[in-house]
Amino acid sequence: MFAIIGALLFLGIAVMTVLVACGLPLGEFTMGGQYKILPKKFRIMAIISIAIQIFAMVIVLQAGGLIPLMFSYRVTMYICFFFAAYLSLNTVMNLTSKSKKEKYVMTPLSLIAAICYWITAFQM
């Protein structure tokens, strides 16, 4: 259950990242909220981020036993722990953001996703 929630949260974040990469004025929700529309160089980073987010979704679903493992059990577990730690750090960074949109929208999403990844990794 936690794996599904974590993957769905990441899916929502990935969709928003796609929209930001396409130039929609949602930049205040990402990267510190410095730009309403991301500059082109940051859009490339957003595209790379989308690939990482998709990989993170696959890992948590594998760790939760919902799809077959791509990697060994141990490697999958370590990668899941890595994303849990990353999301925990991301939560702190979002919390310290100057952008109210990032702080009040992305922080709770990141926190809930982090909890889902931690629980899933520990349940492996």
pLDDT digits (tens, 9 = 90+) for 2-59: 999 999 999 999 999 999 999 988 878 887 778 888 888 888 989 999 999 999 999 9
Nearest to 119 by CA among 71, 90, 84: 84
Instruction: Look up the pTM and report it.
Output: 0.89
Decide if pLDDT at 81 tops 80: yes
Question: What pLDDT sits at residue 35?
Answer: 83
Question: What pLDDT sits at residue 102?
Answer: 87
Higher pLDDT: 25 or 122? It is 122
Which residues, in sequence order, are CB contacts of 14 under 8 Å at separation 6+?
Answer: 50, 53, 54, 57
Question: What pLDDT sits at residue 31?
Answer: 77
